[in-house]
């Protein structure tokens, strides 16, 4: 969720919002709640956003005021009653039975349907930003203060000047509605002026002004030291004489680590903690060659060699005779050392004391042997005819200060000044990748999967930001950042993992003519002509250079190497793979109950209902609005009775209110981020004035985790999970809608050093809280908008605040593919688009696409028309229902795919080139993809489409249409006609896909249901697949080996079932209901051979036209060993 068209003050005066030069301050204005009475009978003041007049109200309707003028709403609410729990049941009369059996539990009646109510609501209430709507219910009363046009204009102007993100006040007179609509259209796009370009970011501007050429750095080969885990040697900048320390490590899993630090820093520089699983295990390095000006190192047993050239400094990494990558080949290494500010008092004192000390020391001490870098620097000074004293003389200081780059020591963007107490500290390094034309990764960007050249434009930016309705196909920063880039060719795959959490820019260019003589010689040696090359340049504002080269050589190997460093995707609880219904906002307990009834009445499966920020008492997280949600525990128990869950939002900005216990404890414990002057950092966000917990502090994270205990989070139950939004962090009054870079975190580190880690830590602490509340047994579910490398260990992510547009549907595919390549497999996009109102065709197509993406949630902005699945006519409801049921039928396949991802690191949703690395046709393809290795999906993403072009990869392979079962030989491109019910999906020949085809309301109701195995035969008549089963919610699979992992192999006309991992065991009543074999001939007989007991003949049906053989009710337990023989 983004700061949209307005601001809800929600109980605090906006008077402190105009914090252009500093954090906003809370003040007790109209609507603030007295201590002890927060949210009950209190007034809330809202500046209403310019939104749809048909939008956002509760399902029971509402009204819109018609009074002209600028409207400020003041609403007084009273607590409403609630009802108790309900008996557990998994079906109702509206739920049909699946093939082969009936639902075992009885149903219950439902309240009247939602369609009529939603029809009335659609014409009803107008809402303010996050304000909901005015209700006609007797449980609340409202009054409205109507300002004059001039006063309203001043109020709106004030807010616009206060915040960096634009929003609007609402003008009521009808003649201005057209103007309002035009203004809203303009507002519903990113305001680029709120976000920096490279030219406006001083360190990016400085580094980009450095053109490729001869590097000023020289490696001092005589300083080489070989240790048990690394080789170290010194580098010296021949212009500044500043020495650096280079550390090279060959790691297990075919990985090389390169670290560059200052040899003698004035103070420590930030190095990213907590992202790596641990210190990587090194392999011993050996010197295998040495010549004047260069040396050669062998990097462990993988056959990789590193050629290190001294002057100018560069490194070339080879596998055998093949050059994989060159480091600093273009001479763009940058390492700005820490230093006193030129002309500052400390600089002058340091120089004076140093000179005095040198004179005293010369009287009593002889000089010790010099470090190699110092000796080199002294020699350079002698050769230049000037002593080192001359270099540092005070007479040079004015010249040095005069030539200082603008923005080095202080930088202003719009009205915000960054003080930069440590001065310029940026780092950068270039990598040349010969033989690679295609590079991928570095999410998050709303762009194609294959990264484009950045020549002539901005680099790709990695800086977590709250971006209001992002633009497509550009390199602007978005909500999350993973500094992992993959390069792929038909010969090999490699990865570059740049471990730096500061603001980072990545330049990409294609280059063949610019290759060095060394590269051209290698081309000649390798027997080729001019080969393509991609050049990648990393630029970060602070920290050190710490980069991992993931050497593959296959896509699967690179995925495994990255997973070995940062971890694999957490295995989600099974319910999290079901369907999630969300909206900003479901208004109260009655609204939640009405939506839940709608799924029952229309027989549509759903696992989770979501509550956005309006559920909390005045945006005070860990609380419930007592007038809207007076009995949250009873509400959650009613959902649990239907085997459903709920997710509530908990954002990391905390309302500054002395009566709010969470705030008081954080302040008393000193757990907030600090300003550069030592006070608690405050900014403006949803609650008004807000402070920000310092999640980099382990003690703070432990305290935050404790807040999810049931006794701390009152009203919470075990079926309540969490959504972390706005955790970039979002600060409406801050520069670029985020935190000031000179804010101070635990350990004295500036925010600039670790900005991209903030959301990572928020999700980490929240997930830990859910684990702790269950005594360490239950798996958490946490959705986070911001992320970094390693976030995959803690939950799910999504693509952020998209729009109800066809292009946004289309871009969700490459965005999630990019996430997966960076380890974040549990990704999805807001179905239907967050902003704007989707037409029925777009909504249906989005449900169909979302059903085949890992995280499946519908979500919408407050000002959009209600869009629950049954509100668009029965024909569209049937299409959406069918898409959702397809998702649920395939949940065993999805869950097994996530288990393999959790074990090995391969993304669940993956580009075709990961499975077909030599097929160049797939390298730039991002409109179709694979789920695991078995299903190929091509969603329909064009309006009015009558057909799609589907490419089926794999020489000598076959694919089967999952609907018609028609067999297609590969490789080929098919034109596939589509209707509104079409979802082009193909099963790969040689695979087995498990399904559960019974129709249930939720995943929990599917436990114990029978399985159908879809066996798609290869041209050789073989197939293989697996199934993972456990309780779907606990860590027992890992701690107690309570699981089943079954393997199914078809060969020699026999399908066998056996254990894929005999270490696990798990009791389940589930059995095999059907086996469907695609591409099979008609047998004379089919025989079942159980592990124990006599053989039995099975009934079968064969379709000669499609070559589909169906075996009905083998009746064997899914966890048993057996064989089925075709005779």
Write down the catalytic residue from 694, 801, 863, 919.
801
Taking a C-beta distance cutoff of 8 angstroms, is the pair 708, 770 a contact? yes
Q: Round to whole Å and give the CA distance between 477 and 489.
A: 27
For 811, residues 6+ apart whose C-beta sits below 8 A from its C-beta are: 446, 447, 472, 473, 799, 802
Helix residue ranges, H only, 267-387 = 345-364, 372-383
Beta bridge partners of 180: none
Taking a C-beta distance cutoff of 8 angstroms, is the pair 1099, 1113 a contact? yes
Token pair 């998209």: residue: 802
Beta bridge partners of 8: 46
Q: Round to whole Å and give the CA distance between 325 and 318.
A: 7
1103 carries an active-site annotation: no
HEC per residue, 552-576: CCCHHHHHHHHHHHHCCCCCCCHHH
Q: Which of 628, 697, 476, 796 is nearest to 133 (CA)?
A: 628
801 carries an active-site annotation: yes
φ and ψ of 366, to 5 deg = -95, 150
Q: Which of 1050, 1031, 919 is nearest to 991 (CA)?
A: 1050
For 405, residues 6+ apart whose C-beta sits below 8 A from its C-beta are: 202, 206, 424
**CA dihedral sign, ordered 205, 473, 737, 542:** negative
HEC per residue, 571-606: CCCHHHHCEEECCCCCCCHHHHHHHHHHHHHCCCCC
Three-state DSSP class for residue 239:
coil
What does the CA dihedral 954, 955, 961, 967 come to, rounded to 10 degrees? -160
Q: Round to whole Å and give the CA distance between 614 and 682.
A: 22
Residue 358 burial class via C-beta count within 10 angstroms: exposed 0-12, middle 13-18, buried 19 and up = exposed
Token pair 């010790």: residue: 368
Taking a C-beta distance cutoff of 8 angstroms, is the pair 6, 40 a contact? no
In this structure, the strands spanning 427-434 and 322-327 are antiparallel
Q: Round to whole Å and give the CA distance between 765 and 769.
A: 6
Q: Which of 619, 631, 623, 628 is nearest to 656 (CA)?
A: 619
Beta bridge partners of 675: none
Q: Round to whole Å and give the CA distance between 810 and 831.
A: 12
Half-sphere exposure (CA, 13 Å, Cβ side) for 10?
30
Could you tell me how far CA 244 lies from the centroid of its own chain? 34
For 340, residues 6+ apart whose C-beta sits below 8 A from its C-beta are: 266, 346, 347, 350
What are the tokens at 217?
């750095």
Q: Note every long-range contact of 263-270, with CB atoms under 8 Å and residues 24 or more positions apart, other chains counting.
A: 263/234, 263/371, 263/373, 265/337, 265/338, 266/337, 266/338, 266/339, 266/340, 267/338, 267/422, 269/338, 269/425, 269/542, 269/543, 269/544, 270/501, 270/502, 270/542, 270/543, 270/544, 270/749, 270/753, 270/754
Three-state DSSP class for residue 826:
coil
Q: Round to whole Å and give the CA distance between 929 and 984.
A: 11
Token pair 């906006």: residue: 14
Write down the catalytic residue from 607, 680, 725, 742.
725
Q: Round to whole Å and give the CA distance between 547 and 32.
A: 50
Catalytic residues: 725, 801
């Amino acid at each position: 969720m983004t700061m949209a068209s307005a601001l809800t003050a929600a109980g605090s005066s906006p008077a402190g919002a105009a914090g252009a030069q500093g954090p906003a301050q809370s003040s007790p204005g109209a609507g603030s709640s007295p201590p002890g009475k927060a949210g009950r009978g209190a007034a809330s003041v809202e500046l209403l956003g310019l939104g749809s007049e048909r939008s956002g109200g509760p399902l029971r309707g509402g009204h819109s005021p018609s009074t002209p003028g600028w409207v400020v709403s003041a609403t007084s609410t009273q607590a409403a009653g609630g009802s108790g729990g309900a008996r557990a049941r998994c079906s109702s009369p509206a739920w049909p039975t699946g093939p082969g059996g009936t639902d075992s539990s009885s149903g219950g009646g439902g309240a009247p349907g939602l369609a009529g109510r939603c029809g009335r609501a659609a014409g009803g209430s107008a809402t303010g930003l996050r304000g909901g709507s005015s209700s006609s219910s007797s449980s609340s009363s409202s009054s409205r203060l109507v300002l004059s046009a001039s006063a309203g204009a001043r109020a709106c102007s004030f807010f616009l000047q206060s915040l960096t993100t634009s929003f609007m006040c609402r003008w009521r007179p009808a003649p201005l509605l057209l103007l309002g609509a035009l203004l809203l259209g303009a507002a519903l796009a990113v305001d680029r002026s709120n976000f920096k370009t490279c030219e406006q970011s001083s360190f990016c501007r400085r580094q980009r002004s450095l053109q490729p050429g001869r590097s000023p750095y020289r490696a001092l080969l005589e300083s080489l030291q070989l240790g048990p885990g690394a080789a170290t040697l010194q580098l010296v900048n021949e212009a500044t004489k500043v020495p650096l320390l280079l550390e090279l490590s060959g790691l297990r899993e075919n990985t090389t680590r390169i670290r560059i630090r200052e040899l003698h820093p004035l103070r420590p520089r930030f190095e990213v903690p907590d992202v790596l699983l641990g210190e990587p295990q090194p392999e011993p390095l050996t010197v295998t060659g040495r010549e004047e000006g260069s040396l050669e190192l062998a990097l462990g047993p993988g056959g990789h060699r590193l050629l290190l050239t001294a002057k100018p400094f560069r490194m070339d990494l080879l596998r055998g005779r093949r050059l994989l990558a060159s480091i600093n080949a273009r001479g763009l290494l940058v390492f700005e050392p820490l230093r006193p500010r030129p002309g500052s008092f400390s600089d002058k004192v340091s120089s004076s004391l140093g000179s005095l000390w040198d004179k005293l020391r010369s009287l009593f001490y002889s000089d010790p042997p010099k470090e190699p870098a110092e000796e080199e620097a002294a020699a350079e000074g002698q050769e230049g005819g000037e002593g080192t004293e001359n270099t540092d003389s005070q007479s040079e200081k004015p010249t040095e200060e005069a030539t200082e780059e603008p923005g080095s020591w202080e930088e202003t963007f719009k009205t915000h000044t960054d003080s930069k107490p440590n001065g310029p500290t940026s780092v950068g390094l270039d990598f040349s990748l010969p033989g690679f034309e295609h590079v991928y990764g570095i999410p998050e960007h709303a762009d194609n999967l294959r990264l484009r050249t950045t020549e002539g434009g901005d680099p790709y930016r990695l800086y977590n930001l709250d971006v209001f309705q992002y633009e497509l196909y550009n390199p602007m920063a978005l909500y999350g950042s993973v500094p992992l880039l993959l390069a792929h060719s038909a010969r090999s795959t490699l990865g570059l993992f740049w471990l730096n959490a500061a603001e980072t820019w990545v330049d990409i260019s294609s280059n063949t003519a610019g290759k060095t003589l060394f590269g051209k010689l290698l081309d000649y040696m390798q027997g080729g002509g001019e080969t393509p090359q991609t050049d990648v340049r990393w630029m970060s504002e602070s920290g050190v250079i710490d980069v991992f080269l993931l050497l593959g050589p296959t896509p699967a190997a690179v995925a495994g190497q990255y997973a070995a460093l940062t971890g694999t995707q957490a295995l989600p609880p099974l319910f999290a793979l079901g369907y999630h219904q969300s909206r900003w906002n479901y208004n109260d307990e009655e609204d939640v109950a009405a939506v839940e009834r709608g799924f029952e009445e229309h027989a549509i499966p759903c696992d989770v209902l979501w509550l956005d920020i309006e559920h909390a008492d005045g945006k005070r997280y860990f609380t419930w609005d007592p007038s809207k949600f007076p009995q949250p525990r009873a509400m959650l128990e009613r959902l649990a009775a239907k085997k459903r869950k709920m997710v509530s939002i908990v954002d990391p900005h905390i309302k500054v209110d002395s009566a709010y216990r969470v705030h008081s404890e954080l302040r008393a414990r000193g757990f907030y981020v600090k300003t550069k002057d030592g006070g608690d950092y405050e900014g403006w966000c949803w609650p008004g004035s807000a402070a920000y917990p310092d999640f980099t502090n382990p003690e703070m994270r432990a305290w935050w985790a404790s807040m999810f205990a049931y006794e701390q989070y009152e009203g919470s139950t075990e079926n309540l999970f969490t959504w972390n939004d706005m955790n970039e962090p979002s600060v409406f009054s801050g520069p670029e809608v985020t935190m000031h870079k000179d804010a101070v975190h635990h350990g004295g580190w500036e925010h600039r050093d670790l900005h991209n880690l903030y959301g990572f830590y928020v999700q980490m602490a929240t997930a830990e809280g859910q684990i702790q509340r269950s005594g360490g047994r239950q798996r958490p579910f946490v959705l986070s908008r911001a992320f970094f490398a390693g976030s995959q260990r803690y939950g799910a992510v999504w693509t952020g605040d998209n729009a109800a547009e066809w292009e946004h549907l289309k871009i969700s595919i490459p965005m999630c593919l990019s996430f997966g390549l960076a380890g974040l497999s549990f990704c999805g996009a807001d179905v239907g688009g967050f902003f704007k109102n989707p037409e029925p065709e777009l909504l249906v197509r989005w449900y169909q696409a979302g059903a085949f993406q890992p995280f499946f949630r519908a979500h919408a902005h407050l000002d959009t028309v209600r869009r629950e699945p049954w509100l668009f006519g029965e024909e569209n409801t049937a299409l959406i229902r069918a898409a959702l049921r397809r998702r649920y039928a395939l949940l065993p396949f999805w869950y097994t795919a996530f288990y393999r991802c959790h074990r090995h690191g391969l993304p669940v949703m993956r580009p075709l080139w990961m499975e077909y690395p030599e097929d160049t046709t797939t390298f730039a393809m991002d409109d179709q993809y694979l789920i695991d290795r078995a299903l190929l999906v091509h969603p329909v993403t064009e309006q009015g489409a009558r057909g799609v072009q589907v490419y089926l990869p794999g020489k000598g392979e076959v694919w089967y249409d999952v609907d018609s079962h028609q067999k297609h030989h590969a490789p080929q491109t098919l034109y596939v006609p589509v209707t509104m019910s079409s979802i082009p999906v193909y099963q790969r020949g040689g695979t087995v896909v498990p399904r559960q085809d019974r129709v249930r309301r939720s995943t929990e109701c599917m436990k114990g249901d029978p399985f159908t195995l879809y066996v798609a035969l290869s041209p050789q008549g073989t197939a293989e697949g697996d199934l993972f089963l456990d309780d779907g919610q606990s860590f027992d699979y890992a701690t107690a080996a309570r699981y089943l992992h079954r393997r199914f192999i078809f060969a020699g006309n026999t399908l066998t079932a056996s254990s894929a991992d005999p270490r696990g065991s798990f009791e389940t009543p589930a059995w095999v209901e059907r086996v469907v074999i695609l591409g099979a001939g008609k047998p004379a007989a089919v025989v079942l051979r159980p592990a124990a007991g006599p053989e039995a003949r099975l009934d079968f049906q064969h379709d000669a036209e499609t070559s589909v053989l169906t075996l009905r009710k083998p009746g064997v337990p899914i966890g048993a060993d057996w064989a089925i023989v075709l005779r």
